[in-house]
Amino acid sequence: MKRTYLKKASRTSQSDAGETSKTVAAILADIETRGEAAALEYAAKFDKYTGNVELTQAEIDAACARVPQKLKEDILFAHDNVRRFAEVQKGTVADVEYEINPGLIVGQKAIPVSAAGCYVPAGRYRHIASAVMTVTTAKVAGCEHITVSSAPQPGEGLNPAIVFAAHACGADKIMALGGVQGVASMAFGLFGQPKANIIVGPGNQFVAEAKRSLYGRVGIDMIAGPTDSLILADKGADAHIVATDLVSQAEHGYNSPVWLVTDHEPLARDVLSRVPDLIADLPALNRENAEAAWNDYAEVIVCANREDMAATSDEYAPEHLTVQAEDLDWWLNRLKCYGSLFLGEETTVSYGDKAAGTNHVLPTSGAASYTGGLSVHKYMKIVTWQRASREGSKQVAEATARISRLEGMEAHARAADVRLAKYFPDEDFDLTANG
Ligand SMILES: NC(=O)C1=CN([C@@H]2O[C@H](COP(=O)(O)OP(=O)(O)OC[C@H]3O[C@@H](n4cnc5c(N)ncnc54)[C@H](O)[C@@H]3O)[C@@H](O)[C@H]2O)C=CC1
Ligand SMILES: O=C(O)[C@@H](O)CS(=O)(=O)O
Ligand SMILES: [Zn+2]
């Protein structure tokens, strides 16, 4: 497949991975050894925060009172959409019971984990929507205890709207702890909370690496690190809207890649010429982030046709994938690797990020090649069970005994032997490995 890069990235999500991994390992080990005292020291070091970590009910009430009414209504609108979509998704997992052989019944149950730890990023921006996405889905899944941990601002603590969102969506505990110290405190059960069974939520490279390192001891939703986005656009796409959408996701941070893939070079050149002005027009922090992301991480790729565009996109496996091209059904059918798909110019990643109802906690750095984003299913354990009548036990016992013996697992075989001997004392069975 021939691809022409009109713009090629000098850095990727793996560029700083080694350094990040070392930093995070040291912090995790320290917090595991020294507990809350170490977590508080890192809060002071990284966030210049020495205030209260566990929010009291009075602090929650005071924060909620500071949120403007219109913003509360918007947050509740987003919550309602996320909740209703989560409920529909939950309905797709059913407990089942199946008589697989006469008298032998097998089944599946979906059991929610007890304790969920939801990380809500708040370093560069106030990610109110992340509180909605994580807490609402945990609540719909049926988790008994939900903790939110989020980065405090120096001298101020948590953003009031994040507190309102976490509280309104159903958090049982809210902590002012960011980054690795927030994730570690939820995983180790510090500050009076139950140890989390699963840690979910997005964050920067330190948060994503902390979750990755703790995985196994605790469940995680997925690697949801620095945001990335890809737009597939054909000759009919509106260059101004494509450029605006690229910039909208480059503002996340200096390490947020945005990629444009097209089969129409004039569109690519038009978009390339528009992006710098759109970035220059942003407020200072957003401009700095978007400029760095655009310069170092962005790519503009021209392909020969739509099939090559789709194949390129699947290779990148972006977190957000937008299609601004004709024949949307063809794309929906063809594309295989993405966290969330935005079909057509009339929708945009920002809708999904904030309020449309699909979850914005999504796989990054290519993780969309093997997983989808956060949903109720991530909090639910699909477990199995079985029971049998004595008749139902017969055939499976014989097969079990012979397979076990052939494997050399004599004790397993005898667990089947004793049942056959007890339930069918008058029958002879050849239970040897060669039987
Ligand atoms: N994949 C997804 O679904 C989503 C991803 N995001 C991503 O979340 C991220 C948010 O990042 P931030 O604004 O930074 O907020 P954040 O809350 O993730 O990180 C802030 C924390 O980083 C820690 N930190 C900062 N510098 C450090 C250092 N040198 N060593 C150790 N720890 C350090 C501090 O403890 C601070 O509390 C962005 O990259 C954004 O793209 C946001 C929403 C959704
Ligand atoms: O990575 C993401 O999903 C973000 O784009 C979500 S938000 O824009 O930070 O709300
Ligand atoms: Zn976004």
Burial class (CB in 10 A: 0-12, 13-18, 19+), 251: buried
181 marked as part of a ligand binding site: yes
Token pair for 49: 């925060």
Pair (271, 289) in one structural domain: yes
What number is the average pLDDT over the span 109-127? 98
Pair (62, 144) in one structural domain: yes
Pair (206, 282) in one structural domain: no
227 marked as part of a ligand binding site: yes
- The yes-or-no verdict on residue 349 having pLDDT over 80 is yes
Regarding the beta carbon of 43 and ligand 2, being less than 6 Å apart is answered: no
Pair (58, 188) in one structural domain: yes
Question: Could you say which of 347, 372, 397 is where a domain stops?
Answer: 372
SS3 of residue 150 by DSSP: strand
Going from the Cα of 127 to the center of ligand 3, the distance in angstroms, rounded, reads 10
What is the pLDDT at residue 80? 98
**Under a CB-based contact definition with an 8 Å cutoff, are residues 206 and 20 in contact?**
yes
**Under a CB-based contact definition with an 8 Å cutoff, are residues 310 and 334 in contact?**
yes
Question: Could you say which of 158, 193, 221 is where a domain stops?
Answer: 221
Selected residue with higher pLDDT from 435 and 398: 398
Pair (208, 237) in one structural domain: no
Ligand 2, atom nearest to 125 Cα: 9
CA distances from 290 to 225, 251, 286, 317 (A): 17, 4, 6, 21
Q: What is the pLDDT of residues 260-276, one digit of tens each?
A: 999 999 999 999 999 99
What is the pLDDT at residue 427? 98
Pair (337, 413) in one structural domain: no
Pair (50, 198) in one structural domain: yes
One-letter identity of residue 129: A
Q: What is the pLDDT of residues 360-387, one digit of tens each?
A: 999 999 999 999 999 999 999 999 999 9
What number is the average pLDDT over the span 133-159? 97
Residue 395 lies in a domain: yes
How many residues comprise the chain?
A: 435
Ligand 2 pocket: which of 162, 255, 353, 364 to mutate (most atoms <8 Å of CB)? 353
Count: domains in the chain: 3
Nearest CA to ligand 2 atom 10: 353
Residue 378 DSSP code: G
Share of the chain above pLDDT 70, in %: 100
Residue 27 lies in a domain: no
320 marked as part of a ligand binding site: yes
Pair (64, 188) in one structural domain: yes
Expressed as residue numbers, the domain containing 335 is 3-16+226-372
Could you give the residue ranges of the DSSP H alpha helices within 91-194? Answer: 128-141, 160-169, 179-188
**Under a CB-based contact definition with an 8 Å cutoff, are residues 392 and 105 in contact?**
yes
* Residue 320 designated active-site: yes
Average pLDDT, the chain: 97
Give the number of the ligand closest to the Cα of residue 224: 1
Catalytic residue among 319, 360, 377, 410: 319
Regarding the beta carbon of 362 and ligand 2, being less than 6 Å apart is answered: yes
Q: What is the pLDDT of residues 17-46, one digit of tens each?
A: 999 999 999 999 999 999 999 999 999 999
Nearest CA to ligand 2 atom 7: 353
**Under a CB-based contact definition with an 8 Å cutoff, are residues 63 and 156 in contact?**
no
Question: Could you say which of 187, 221, 255 is where a domain stops?
Answer: 221
364 marked as part of a ligand binding site: no
What is the pLDDT at residue 300? 98
Task: Give, in degrees to the nearest 5, the angle at Cα 179 between 358 and 286.
Answer: 65
Residue 43 lies in a domain: yes
What is the pLDDT at residue 362? 98
d(Cα 342, Cα 351) in Å, to the nearest integer?
A: 9
353 marked as part of a ligand binding site: yes
What number is the average pLDDT over the span 305-318? 98
- Look up the CATH number of the domain holding residue 209: 3.40.50.1980
282: pLDDT confidence band, cut at 50, 70 and 90? very high
Ligand 1 pocket: which of 49, 127, 199, 204 to mutate (most atoms <8 Å of CB)? 204
Catalytic residue among 79, 127, 167, 320: 320
Pair (203, 237) in one structural domain: no
Pair (362, 316) in one structural domain: yes
Residue with tokens 């927030």: 182
Long-range contact set of residues 211-219: C-beta below 8 Å, sequence gap at least 24: 211/119, 211/183, 213/21, 213/24, 213/25, 213/28, 214/28, 214/183, 214/184, 214/187, 217/187, 218/117, 218/187, 219/113
End-to-end CA distance of the chain, in Å?
56
What is the pLDDT at residue 16? 86
What number is the average pLDDT over the span 223-244? 97
Residue 140 lies in a domain: yes
- The yes-or-no verdict on residue 333 having pLDDT over 80 is yes
Q: What is the pLDDT of residues 156-171, one digit of tens each?
A: 999 999 999 999 999 9
SS3 of residue 72 by DSSP: helix
1: pLDDT confidence band, cut at 50, 70 and 90? confident
CA distances from 105 to 11, 351, 392, 421 (A): 54, 45, 8, 22
What number is the average pLDDT over the span 202-227? 97
Beta-carbon contacts of residue 281 (< 8 Å; ≥ 6 apart): none
Ligand 2, atom nearest to 340 Cα: 3
Pocket of ligand 1 (CB under 6 A): 23, 46-47, 121-125, 127, 130, 151, 178-180, 202-204, 206-207, 224, 226-227, 252-253, 256, 319, 360-362, 364
Q: Chain centroid to CA 228: how far?
A: 13
What is the pLDDT at residue 435? 66
Residue 354 lies in a domain: yes
Share of the chain above pLDDT 90, in %: 97
Ligand 1, atom nearest to 319 Cα: 1
Ligand 1, atom nearest to 360 Cα: 3
Pair (209, 230) in one structural domain: no
Count H helices, E strands: the chain?
16, 14
- The yes-or-no verdict on residue 176 having pLDDT over 90 is yes
Ligand 1, atom nearest to 180 Cα: 35
